Structure 1
Amino acid sequence: MSLFVGLDVGTQSVKLVAYDPQARRIVATHGQPLELIAGNDGSREQHAQWWIDAIRTCFGKLEPALRARVAAIGVSGQQHGFVPVDADGNVLAPAKLWCDTSTSGECDEIMSAAGGAQRCVELAGNPILAGYTASKLPWTRKHRPEVYAKLATILLPHDYVNFWLTGERWMEYGDASGTGWLDVRTRTWSREILAATDAGTALAAFLPPLVDADHSAFISRAVAEELDLPRDVRVSAGGGDNMMAAVGTGNVVPGVLTMSLGTSGTLFACADRPVVDEAAGWAAFCSSTGSWLPLICTMNTTVATENVARLFGFSTRDGDAVMAGTAPGADGLTMLPFFNGERTPDLPNARASLLGMDMGNLTRGNVYRAAMEGATYALRNGFDSLRNAGMTFDSIRLTGGGSHSAAWRQMVADVFDLPVQVPEQAEGAAFGAALQALWAHGRATGADADIASIAREHVRVDEAASARPQPEAVAAYREAYQRFLRHLDNERQQHAGASTTR
């Protein structure tokens, strides 16, 4: 009758799911919204105490009878955050988040000190990108010297929640790979990148011990009493939200590709080896299962369809109906959906454009389709890079808001020429954290199940939402996708020319 709780500490909210593995069902789901501190300089911060208060609220909504059955907790957290903690465990400043761009100058400084972006890839597998944890330390040294002077430990958001739950400080490899400091090939801290970040300090001393993905520790007596939980509850290693979403969608063995259609879009896969792109076309992360997680992020997915729907005065909930009667290729319209610039490909200063308009094809249905197609083609472009690196896939697990659209699910199947499956559990990161907790609890109590068998047993797909490629549409999209790539090449050339002129 044991329950396994997954906590997803996101940017907008904290979510809790309680999973009963014997009944194969979620028995409770609760959430609590979070505030965001946004500055004109690009800073995006939250107080770590807000996460703890939201977790308390979520557990308070969980019925006492369910709380009494909790055996283990897993924590998923937004990646790349910077939580500065002193020797006594006190948080010294608001946590700078993944979406904080105020430290972009420090990214350049670190990479320059290391010998350039390409050298960073050689040393650790990734360049130091805006948002990564590494750049937040020198920013703190410059702008919050009193915090830097008292700093004892650098924790990521999910690490801090684990610390609150257990009293222990640790970091697991998946989330650690998003700091920019971890050499993903060897799963060790890169001494050269650490030195490039802070040459005057033994930075490794500020980083907690690295633990394996099946690690767990007992909840502290004080927190167990406060949350009215059993004292023998175990807390698993946890991981970053993308790593936990991989578990929650069953993406724990090679061959499965997870795609998230949110405001931004992500593609990630499980690899049994480090998959590093020398051109840094994707993030070469570790997974939170002992493997690796190459990940591609595009910045404009549902933001494209939402902008078009707003322009024409309808809701995206009605988008499938608006598209009815249109055909693959949008009658010659092509959208480059770069409303927020773009990360993959690296076009941060690009802007969205609608190309191929004539007197007959400029309808709201075609424009909406062009937005959906453009967002999908951008992800397909990243997929091509993974495939060119030798990775193969037999299916796509689709999550995020866009997965609720039957038209979009079919479009993904046709554009990628792969079957699409939608997991039953919508809260992929929280559910993945619960499954990791189940795995870690089993390892600690003598069970020999591995994470792959757990995923096979507990991750179920909604067969009614599945989609298979349709040959005629596959052929039509193949031609339209090539048109998208030609326009994308023109965009790249224009931005390369602008950079040369500057």
Structure 2
Amino acid sequence: MKIAAGIDLGTQSLKVVLYDYEEKRIAAQASCPLELISKEDGTREQKTEWYDAALKNAFEKLPAELRSRIEAVGVSGQQHGFVPLDKDGKSLYNVKLWNDTSTAEECRTLTEQAGGDAEVIREAGNLMLPGFTAPKILWLKNHFPEVWKKLHYILLPHDYVNYVLTGNYVMEAGDASGTALFNPAKRAWSQKLCSLIDEHLYDLLAPLIASDEQAGTVSEKAARLLGIPEGIPVSSGGGDNMMGAIGTGTVSDGFLTMSMGTSGTLYGYSDKPIADPEHGLSGFCSSMGGWLPLLCTMNCTVATEQIRSLFGLSVADFDRLAAAAEPGAQGVRVLPFFNGERTPNLPKGRASITGLTMTNSSRQNICRAAMESAVFALKGGLDAFKKLGFEPKEIRLIGGGAKSPLWRQIVADIMNVPVSVPVSEEAAALGAAVQALWCLEGGTPDRIKSLCAEHIRLNKEKSAQPGSAVCEYERAYRDYNELLGQLSPLYTHG
């Protein structure tokens, strides 16, 4: 048995899969939940100590005999989080996460200093949004100047795990392109954007390695901590969306991956830089060469979980009620901005339920409208892809939403694109394992595509085709966008 390990550091948990690449199956997997610090000002934070403990806990749950057979490790991590360390590798402050919206003021400051949105887009391929890393760095400097003076390492969550495993301080283009300090077209740090925060920031940023390079090898300390072999390669890794693209086989033009978890994402592979930041389509690099244009919303299963909790329903009961409602929920609409929102850029956004009348006010309609709202928000990304000439052949659905037959059909109908579901539910962790295998082989750019063809399988029983509800959803989507346009001014300035 030959094993590549994939680690996925998410918002809600840290997961590890041990992938037997000879038998093409997951031999074992384990996870450990993570806490979240939430505040009314939009703060969303975690602690590096939680990551350390979760990493150790997850590996300890795996059979020692299998751990001893690991030949390479790959790491996936939630994007955009800011991990500040001192010169000894100790955390200086909490990790500010992708869904932290407390940095809206820093975004305004950086955008003005850069010369406006157009200049930021020219340098970063994106707008300066609260979800990205750059405003978080300025926030730390503004709020904790004494801590700032001790800052030595600037890491993203997946890079932090690489650092724990290897002791090396490096980054790769995929995750780095989500910092708003990086030029995706040039695949290089932007000295101009860095200088807006601090004249020394550029020198603090990690050296960049190629996607197929090693971040390093497992250190003696990490080997003892996790019970894995010392000296085995650790691949470059990447953001969870970049690893999810590998783990779903979204490695060529025409295929899109849609992830429905806490956040919602829609992304596709491109051989050339593609971006439409003004319509929410970020210009990221992939973690296998090439580019990964992506739309992200901060509120996806958040909406259904909040409403499910409000009604005191189990997941099964929630789905049953939603299935009893008609497509379009008889005009009931949900704006799902429980966390504020990144796409559209409404960091002060609030959730709402509208369209209720004496005849349509039911739990069934509200439940279905919550599910539909998450997909409506992501459909804007599909529209942006099409405007740029990207013709979608198939959506590969992952995340919690992929487990629901109803949600799979809603996605197929609203997007009007066939939907398939990978066999493995842990796409990001599996993608990290496949990238680790690529690194182990010393492969070429074409080899990662053939590895995906060999190791990524789809569950034909969970596919969904667009059906009779397509026309109804076209009307409902127009209603949703009209409502969004009417309410957005309420959340833009306060």
Which TM-score applies when normalising by structure 2? 0.92
Name the CA distance, whole Å, in 2 between partners of 1:122 and 1:274.
12
Counterpart residue number, 1:328? 327
1:456 aligns with 2:436: no
Equivalent residues in 2 for 1:67-216, closer than 5 Å: 67-198=67-198, 201-216=199-214
Q: Does structure 2 conserve the Cα–Cα contact (< 8 Å) formed by 1:347 and 1:495?
A: no
Name the CA distance, whole Å, in 1 between partners of 2:44 and 2:157.
14
Name the CA distance, whole Å, in 2 between partners of 1:325 and 1:53.
43
Structure 1 residues 362, 97: closer, same or farther in 2, change over 3 A?
Answer: closer
Name the CA distance, whole Å, in 2 between partners of 1:320 and 1:12.
22
Task: Give, in angstroms, the shift of residue 355 of structure 1.
Answer: 4.4
Task: Give, in angstroms, the shift of residue 238 of structure 1.
Answer: 0.6
SS of the residue 1:279 aligns to: helix
Comparing 219-228 with 201-210, greater Cα deviation is found at 219-228
Whichever residue aligns with residue 450 of structure 2, its letter is S
Task: Give, in angstroms, the shift of residue 354 of structure 1.
Answer: 4.2
SS of the residue 1:17 aligns to: strand
Task: Give, in angstroms, the shift of residue 88 of structure 1.
Answer: 3.9
1:420 aligns with 2:419: yes
Name the CA distance, whole Å, in 1 between partners of 2:309 and 2:34.
26
Name the CA distance, whole Å, in 2 between partners of 1:430 and 1:488.
35
Task: Give, in angstroms, the shift of residue 390 of structure 1.
Answer: 1.5
Q: Does structure 1 conserve the Cα–Cα contact (< 8 Å) formed by 2:104 and 2:130?
A: yes
Whichever residue aligns with residue 211 of structure 2, its letter is A
Aligned positions, number: 493
Counterpart residue number, 1:33? 33
Q: Does structure 1 conserve the Cα–Cα contact (< 8 Å) formed by 2:42 and 2:100?
A: yes
Q: Does structure 2 conserve the Cα–Cα contact (< 8 Å) formed by 1:126 and 1:280?
A: no
Structure 1 residues 482, 96: closer, same or farther in 2, change over 3 A?
Answer: closer
Task: Give, in angstroms, the shift of residue 310 of structure 1.
Answer: 4.1
Task: Give, in angstroms, the shift of residue 422 of structure 1.
Answer: 1.1
Q: Does structure 2 conserve the Cα–Cα contact (< 8 Å) formed by 1:92 and 1:147?
A: yes
Name the CA distance, whole Å, in 2 between partners of 1:294 and 1:207.
24
Comparing 225-234 with 414-423, greater Cα deviation is found at 225-234
Comparing 343-352 with 72-81, greater Cα deviation is found at 343-352
Name the CA distance, whole Å, in 2 between partners of 1:95 and 1:489.
33
Whichever residue aligns with residue 130 of structure 2, its letter is A
**Identity of aligned pairs, percent?**
48
Q: Give 5+ residue unaligned stretches, structure 1.
A: none
Task: Give, in angstroms, the shift of residue 78 of structure 1.
Answer: 1.8
Structure 1 residues 137, 482: closer, same or farther in 2, change over 3 A?
Answer: closer
SS of the residue 2:6 aligns to: strand
Counterpart residue number, 2:280? 281
Name the CA distance, whole Å, in 2 between partners of 1:42 and 1:308.
20
Q: 2:480 aligns with which of 474, 479, 484?
A: 484
1:316 aligns with 2:315: yes
SS of the residue 2:461 aligns to: helix
SS of the residue 1:290 aligns to: coil
Task: Give, in angstroms, the shift of residue 312 of structure 1.
Answer: 4.3
Q: Does structure 2 conserve the Cα–Cα contact (< 8 Å) formed by 1:73 and 1:233?
A: yes
Which of the two has higher C-alpha Rg? 1
Counterpart residue number, 1:342? 341
Task: Give, in angstroms, the shift of residue 313 of structure 1.
Answer: 4.4
SS of the residue 1:464 aligns to: strand
Task: Give, in angstroms, the shift of residue 430 of structure 1.
Answer: 1.2
Structure 1 residues 342, 204: closer, same or farther in 2, change over 3 A?
Answer: closer
Q: Does structure 1 conserve the Cα–Cα contact (< 8 Å) formed by 2:289 and 2:445?
A: no
How big is the alpha-carbon RMSD for the aligned residues of Structure 1 and Structure 2?
2.4
Counterpart residue number, 2:385? 386
Q: Does structure 1 conserve the Cα–Cα contact (< 8 Å) formed by 2:262 and 2:298?
A: yes
Name the CA distance, whole Å, in 2 between partners of 1:324 and 1:157.
38
Name the CA distance, whole Å, in 1 between partners of 2:231 and 2:69.
11
Whichever residue aligns with residue 463 of structure 2, its letter is S
Structure 1 residues 92, 385: closer, same or farther in 2, change over 3 A?
Answer: same
Task: Give, in angstroms, the shift of residue 458 of structure 1.
Answer: 1.0
1:419-445 CA-to-partner distances (Å, cap 9, x unmatched) read 1111111122111111111111111xx
Q: Does structure 1 conserve the Cα–Cα contact (< 8 Å) formed by 2:131 and 2:342?
A: no
1:66-120 CA-to-partner distances (Å, cap 9, x unmatched) read 1121000011112222222333434333333323333332222222211122221
Structure 1 residues 67, 322: closer, same or farther in 2, change over 3 A?
Answer: same
Name the CA distance, whole Å, in 2 between partners of 1:227 and 1:337.
40
Q: Give 5+ residue unaligned stretches, structure 2.
A: none
Counterpart residue number, 2:395? 396
Q: Does structure 2 conserve the Cα–Cα contact (< 8 Å) formed by 1:111 and 1:196?
A: no
SS of the residue 2:212 aligns to: coil
SS of the residue 2:45 aligns to: strand
Whichever residue aligns with residue 476 of structure 2, its letter is A
Whichever residue aligns with residue 291 of structure 1, its letter is G
Q: Does structure 2 conserve the Cα–Cα contact (< 8 Å) formed by 1:182 and 1:188?
A: yes
Counterpart residue number, 2:470? 474
Query: Deviating runs (4+, > 6 A) in structure 1?
Result: 446-449
Structure 1 residues 327, 41: closer, same or farther in 2, change over 3 A?
Answer: closer
Structure 1 residues 115, 344: closer, same or farther in 2, change over 3 A?
Answer: same
Structure 1 residues 91, 341: closer, same or farther in 2, change over 3 A?
Answer: closer
Task: Give, in angstroms, the shift of residue 139 of structure 1.
Answer: 2.6
Task: Give, in angstroms, the shift of residue 33 of structure 1.
Answer: 2.1
Which TM-score applies when normalising by structure 1? 0.91
Name the CA distance, whole Å, in 2 between partners of 1:182 and 1:106.
17
Structure 1 residues 238, 27: closer, same or farther in 2, change over 3 A?
Answer: same
Task: Give, in angstroms, the shift of residue 61 of structure 1.
Answer: 2.1
Task: Give, in angstroms, the shift of residue 133 of structure 1.
Answer: 1.6
Name the CA distance, whole Å, in 2 between partners of 1:338 and 1:53.
31
Name the CA distance, whole Å, in 2 between partners of 1:162 and 1:203.
21
Q: Does structure 2 conserve the Cα–Cα contact (< 8 Å) formed by 1:122 and 1:278?
A: no
Whichever residue aligns with residue 426 of structure 1, its letter is E
SS of the residue 2:422 aligns to: coil
SS of the residue 1:422 aligns to: strand
Structure 1 residues 316, 54: closer, same or farther in 2, change over 3 A?
Answer: closer
Counterpart residue number, 1:59? 59
Q: Does structure 1 conserve the Cα–Cα contact (< 8 Å) formed by 2:127 and 2:278?
A: no
Whichever residue aligns with residue 209 of structure 2, its letter is V
Q: Does structure 1 conserve the Cα–Cα contact (< 8 Å) formed by 2:260 and 2:401?
A: yes
Name the CA distance, whole Å, in 2 between partners of 1:386 and 1:82.
29
Structure 1 residues 370, 75: closer, same or farther in 2, change over 3 A?
Answer: same
Name the CA distance, whole Å, in 2 between partners of 1:146 and 1:484.
46
Structure 1 residues 303, 215: closer, same or farther in 2, change over 3 A?
Answer: same
1:143-200 CA-to-partner distances (Å, cap 9, x unmatched) read 33333223222122211221221121100001111111001111111121111121xx
